[in-house]
Amino acid sequence: MNKYESVIIINPSVDDEKLKELEEKFTDLINKDGKLTKVDELGKKKLAYEVRKNKEGIYVVFYFEANPTLIAELERNYRITDEVIKFIVIRVEE
């Protein structure tokens, strides 16, 4: 299993309850085929440029270990989730 880091930016209009739901959804997805190490909620930050008509977003970082096959499924879920406005998954070297 490889180590990964995934940063997602969530629409700033999402309330705390919905934010926790999204976090749980992605945590469960990661834990199905991998092992979540840590979740950092960085809060609302100003974006460098406008993304989907938003000038700021809520940053959430997931640190996890998983098989490479999970990444495609995780990214597919990010794409179909309307609240996620931007994401990136990076493999972390030991």
pLDDT tens readout for residues 47-85: 999 999 999 999 999 999 999 999 999 999 999 999 999
Average pLDDT over residues 34-54: 95
Is the predicted pLDDT of residue 29 greater than 80, yes or no?
A: yes
- Mean pLDDT, rounded, of the chain: 95
Q: What share of the chain is helix, strand, coil (3-state, %, to 5)?
A: 35, 50, 15
Residue carrying structure tokens 């609240």 = 83
Q: What is the dihedral of CA 68, 93, 65, 38, to 10 degrees?
A: -140
* Domains, the chain, with CATH or none: 2-92 (3.30.70.60)
Whether the CB-CB separation of 14 and 25 falls below 8 Å is answered with no
Q: What are phi and psi of 22, to 5 degrees?
A: -65, -45
pTM recorded for the entire structure: 0.92
> CA-based angle 82:87:90, to the nearest 5?
150
